[in-house]
Amino acid sequence: MGHHVSGAFYVFFGLERTPKRYRLYVPTFNFFTGAGQLVHNVLECLCKTKATLPVDKIYAIRAIFPGSLGMLQVDYSRPTKDVFTDAARLILKANKNVELLRYACTGHRTDDFPSWVPPWDTPSVVPERLRKFAPAAVSPHPIIDEDSETEVLKLKALRVNTVTGNISALFPLRPPLQRAWAPSRSDTANADEAFAIFKTWAMASPGGDNADAYAKLRQFASLMAEMCDLKAERIYAWFPMVWQLGDYGTGERYGYVMAPPEVHDARNFAAKLLQLTSGRALFATEGGRVGMATTVVCEGDEVALLSGERLPYVIYRCADRPGKHTVVCPCWVSGAVKGEAWPSRSGDGVEGDLEFIELV
């Protein structure tokens, strides 16, 4: 009851918006009455919480969410995988979306959980500022086959593209810049490394055709423009300027001095590109689009829009389980980040292109 009283105290006295040194998730009235959902704040808190027994992460909050986790029976004799799988299905049904897959795609899984079941030991790999950049959802709610196996999530999705062999390495991790871009040895070293990876990816093409490389650059410029509020043509013009002159807006390297407006644009471009690509990888698709993923993807992987989720996902076929797929990671694809509807292949609307995909 102490948890309920302290939360009510903050709400009653209007302190829930008071700046605090530590982040605190303050529940609403619906939370106290058991009508709350396991929203992003709760799931993030769940990932950051440590427990001697992993199942206690779920058992400890089940009474707070009787409409979903309350249906889960406390049984410490059950394997952790079974408890987490049941909890994931209950959350899917209660929240009416599959956004919890963002917590499953951590890229360093060592457990034997199904790929769509979160281990809830790492926060979401999708930053808050990038959550809104996605195409139109194929369905606001997940369309799930309830008769599928317990460990299999069978839901309708739209296959939109296949990844080609133009794969980049992960960009070096870089914390968000808390200040304006400024010349420093560490900044330019990180920038050199990131832009070297970017240049290698951009210039690699199956047939060595420069036209293909330029097409990828234009697609990425379009993707970056939509996500960073920059003009695509200006971004495209800065790509060769940066890696040929090695100047990221400082105006000091190679004795090259830029006009003040160009310096500002270069700094803005370089800082945003480094933040946008930090810890991510680039890929191209057979359809000529460019994508950015939260982990390295491979040739032959597929990009799919899952019902009940706005972000596209990279999935791949399981070699040892015919007809089934594994979830790899969320991604972003050029030309589909501001709520655009993906074109229909059948001509009868996107609904006619949906198919059941089994995730294991």
Assess whether pLDDT exceeds 50 at residue 32: no
Mean pLDDT value across residues 313-333: 95
In this structure, of 111-115, 129-133, 164-168, 355-359, the range with the lowest mean pLDDT score is 164-168
Q: Name every residue whose Cβ is closer than 8 Å to that of residue 341 and which is 6 or more positions away in sequence.
A: 135, 136, 350
Assess whether pLDDT exceeds 50 at residue 123: yes
Of these ranges, 244-253, 268-277, 280-289, the one predicted with the greatest mean pLDDT is: 280-289
In this structure, of 78-82, 270-274, 277-281, the range with the lowest mean pLDDT score is 270-274
Separation between Cα atoms, residue 289 and residue 219, nearest integer Å: 6
Predicted pLDDT at 234: 83
Assess whether pLDDT exceeds 80 at residue 328: yes
Separation between Cα atoms, residue 153 and residue 358, nearest integer Å: 6
pLDDT bucket at 343, cuts 50 / 70 / 90: confident
In this structure, of 78-92, 94-108, 241-255, the range with the lowest mean pLDDT score is 241-255
More confident residue, 269 or 17: 269
pLDDT bucket at 350, cuts 50 / 70 / 90: confident
More confident residue, 273 or 15: 273
Separation between Cα atoms, residue 284 and residue 297, nearest integer Å: 10
The amino acid that residue 86 corresponds to is: D
pLDDT bucket at 251, cuts 50 / 70 / 90: low
Separation between Cα atoms, residue 347 and residue 170, nearest integer Å: 37
pLDDT bucket at 46, cuts 50 / 70 / 90: confident
Predicted pLDDT at 12: 55
Assess whether pLDDT exceeds 60 at residue 182: no
Predicted pLDDT at 165: 79
Assess whether pLDDT exceeds 50 at residue 153: yes
Predicted pLDDT at 198: 82
134 three-class SS? strand
Mean pLDDT value across residues 344-359: 87
Tokens of residue 84, six digits: 């987490």
pTM of the predicted model as reported, rounded to 2 decimal places: 0.83
Give the residue from 152, 153, 231, 246 showing the smallest Cα distance to 195: 246
Residue pLDDT, tens place only, 74-84: 999 999 999 99
Predicted pLDDT at 177: 45
Predicted pLDDT at 309: 96
More confident residue, 204 or 125: 125
Q: Please, what is the average pLDDT of the chain?
A: 81
pLDDT bucket at 52, cuts 50 / 70 / 90: very high
List phi, psi (to 5°) of 9: -60, -45
For a pLDDT cut of 70, what percent of the chain falls above it?
76
Question: Using CB atoms within 10 A of its CB, is residue 246 exposed (0-12), middle (13-18) or buried (19+)?
Answer: middle
More confident residue, 144 or 196: 144
More confident residue, 330 or 43: 330
Assess whether pLDDT exceeds 80 at residue 341: yes
Predicted pLDDT at 178: 43
Separation between Cα atoms, residue 319 and residue 325, nearest integer Å: 9
More confident residue, 163 or 269: 163
